[in-house]
A and B are shown apart, each in its own frame.
Chain A
Amino acid sequence: MDTPGKPCVLKCPNCGGAVTLRAAGLSVSVVCQQCGSLLDVAREDIKLLEKAWQSKRTLLIPLGSRATLEGNLWEVVGYQARSSGSSKEARYAWDEYLLYNPRYGFRFLAQAEGHWTLYRVIKRGMPLPRGARFERFFDGQVRVDYVLGEFYWRVKKGDTVHVTDSIAPPYVLSVERDADEINTALGIYIPATEIAAAFQLDPNAMPKSRGVAANQPSPFSQRMPDVLRIAMWAVLVATLIQFGQAFFAANQLVYVETFDVDPETTERTHVSPPFTLHKGLANVCLESTAVLRNDWAELGVTLVNETTQEQRNLLQSMEFYEGYDGGERWHEGNNAASNCFSSVPAGQYRLVLDPDAGVFHKSQPGRQTFSERLYSDAPIWSNWLVLMLALLPYPLFLWLRHHSFEYTRWSESDYMPKVYAGIKNSLNGEDE
């Protein structure tokens, strides 16, 4: 037969209107767009199966519309409205458009709650997406509520099939069983904006997307593995460096002294004996402890290089308060302080300590005791701690958002993972 292939136009045996068969040769059932009669076109003769079977309905994507999806051109040849669940609350309804290309066969484009999925039928031996691990999401009866256009199978009124959906977002694997056969289809989530652009639909007329679709990819799942991996490596590397430094730090005690300061009898300023810092450009850390009881003390610390007279300063504050209140003992503050000078060159040094204390300012001033320990090249954990605090919040935020998204997804399923189900139960428990 050398005549070019073209759609077949038939005359509806009921209303006489034109019925276009866009998938002529493959289509078995057709519903007349004018009168809604169900016709059988499995053979050359058209059979009228049921007059005015369907009422008229305007479709979001009219029959005959075309769009390029996944690189191929498709034409809408059929439409079904399907639903699952019997009670009003549990009823879940969706649109299913049958798409046709004479060379690439059929696809199903489903729309539910503003979320779109493109399905292809999977035959035995056809590969599934590499690495996808499918988890059971839905299992139940699915009904056909409304039909328009043509189909390559026999459409029966009130057709019911048993459907099992398993998901590995953006994929969904849908297995449909009836008395005669088992059909498997693989769906992939397609953003509504892509559908609107492909079919040149008004973006404002698209159904509003609500909730999380079964196979909607988590917007966080893409970034999360990378972010978690990078954060993990950063933590690991920083911690290794930190431990290395702590291990190799000399941590040499160069000066120890306990002294009293009594402003009545002695000079306030206290000068340490000279000491030598051997390691160049290492830190120098001073641990000070003041003997305090419901009081405060301060030390103005100056590190003086005896050769160059170069000075470095810092201030240490200590305070300690305690009491007995309402049957409970309390205390606050810290009578010790630890501070470091960083990158101090090697050489001969002295410490000049300029103390002040609460006890000095009392009507009968007393003395204040200080204990000093000075370390050269001490291990420092504060940088590491700051890095951890900077590194961890974003991965933690992503992780929480991701699981919140997954929780919303699985809230719609009877197969919610145990962890989420536990959270759901505890939330419900609090509500009651």
Chain B
Amino acid sequence: MRVFNCPSCGAPVTFHASVSVYAVCAHCQSMILCRDVGIEAFGKMATLPPDMSPLRIGAQGVLDGVGFALLGRLRIGWRDGAWNEWFMVTEHARKGWLAEAQGFFAACFEVPLEHDGQNLIDRDFATWKPKAGERVQVGDQTYEVADIKQTTCLGSEGELPFLANRGRQAVSIDLEGTARFASLEVYQKTGRLYQGRYVGWDELKLSNIRPLEGW
């Protein structure tokens, strides 16, 4: 855990996870980037619009017997709506995401696309124009492209493993495999692969959740 003073307002800004490099000051909404040489503030993040999410930063839960905590949130918009991506870190310091969309929760973890310097995916992100239905090979797994969404970051809060400024544009590709599903995020010609599954509210045994009026 690293604690800094916000360069803009002086309030303490905590980086709980070593993998976090970016945070939004909870006090003044300044965006803070953590570099080797120190921290740097640049611009302000607009407050996220009010919603009915039962999750919040600091909420804790259990996934497959391993505890995790929510550290930050991305609000992602696409053509027909928006969803939340909660940044989580497990007690084994594994970073993952808890997606909250259309009343469903899905937990996923990043899967490396490189192994011993070998590229595991048979696509070049610089030139690839994905189409629904095409087959993608990742290591020994075969996937089919199920859906392609152009996404825009609508805002963020808390700490995150990358700089997520408003307006950050990416392509989100849903992949369906025989055994599992995965999601590929292509941002500035680099791809990140996430594998996961749907999780039920009760299964997550969440604590320190957000109070909801009337619920």
Query: Do these two chains interact?
Result: yes
Chain A contacts to B: CB under 8 angstroms = 1-8, 22-26, 28, 42-44, 73, 100-106, 121, 123-126, 152-154, 181
In the complex, residue of chain B having the shortest beta-carbon distance to the beta carbon of A123: B198
In the complex, residue of chain B having the shortest beta-carbon distance to the beta carbon of A8: B50
Size range of the interface on B? 20 to 34
Chain A residues whose C-beta falls within 8 Å of the C-beta of B103 in the assembled complex: 23, 26, 100, 104-106, 121, 152
Q: Return 27 A-B CB contacts under 8 Å, by A number.
A: A1-B56, A1-B57, A1-B157, A3-B50, A4-B210, A5-B50, A5-B53, A22-B52, A23-B103, A24-B52, A25-B49, A26-B51, A26-B52, A26-B102, A26-B103, A28-B80, A42-B81, A43-B82, A103-B215, A104-B103, A105-B103, A106-B102, A121-B103, A125-B180, A125-B181, A126-B198, A153-B81
Alpha-carbon gap, A44 to B53, bound state (A): 16
Which of A23, A102, A124 has the most CB atoms of chain B within a 10 A radius of its CB? A102
* New A-B pairs, 16, CB < 8 Å, besides A5-B50, A22-B52, A105-B104: A1-B57, A1-B157, A5-B215, A7-B213, A24-B52, A25-B50, A25-B84, A26-B103, A42-B77, A43-B154, A100-B103, A103-B201, A103-B215, A105-B103, A121-B103, A126-B198
Q: Is the CB of A125 within 8 A of B77?
A: no
* B185-215 Cβ-contact flags toward A at 8 Å (1 or 0): 0000000000001100100000000111111
Chain A residues whose C-beta falls within 8 Å of the C-beta of B180 in the assembled complex: 125
Q: Is the interface of A mostly helix, strand, loop or mixed?
A: loop
Q: Is the CB of B157 within 8 A of A153?
A: no
> Does B110 have its Cβ within 8 Å of any Cβ on chain A?
no
Q: Given contacts A1-B48, A1-B157, A105-B103, is CB(A42)–CB(B82) below 8 Å?
A: yes
Alpha-carbon gap, A406 to B53, bound state (A): 44
Alpha-carbon gap, A32 to B52, bound state (A): 20
* B75-99 Cβ-contact flags toward A at 8 Å (1 or 0): 0010011101000000000000000
Q: Is the CB of B81 within 8 A of A28?
A: yes
CB distance from A280 to the nearest CB of B (A): 71
Which of B56, B102, B197 has the most CB atoms of chain A within a 10 A radius of its CB? B102
Can you list the 5 inter-chain pairs with the closest CB atoms, starting with the nearest?
A25-B51, A105-B103, A6-B213, A4-B211, A106-B103
Among candidates A6, A7, A125, A152, residue contacting B102 with C-beta atoms closer than 8 Å: A152
Q: Is the CB of A6 within 8 A of B198?
A: no
Chain B residues whose C-beta falls within 8 Å of the C-beta of A100 in the assembled complex: 103
CB distance from B44 to the nearest CB of A (A): 16
Chain B residues whose C-beta falls within 8 Å of the C-beta of A22 in the assembled complex: 52
Alpha-carbon gap, A122 to B55, bound state (A): 22
Q: Is the CB of A5 within 8 A of B80?
A: no
Chain B residues whose C-beta falls within 8 Å of the C-beta of A181 in the assembled complex: 147
Alpha-carbon gap, A5 to B51, bound state (A): 6
Q: Is the CB of A73 within 8 A of B215?
A: yes
Q: Is the CB of B52 within 8 A of A23?
A: yes
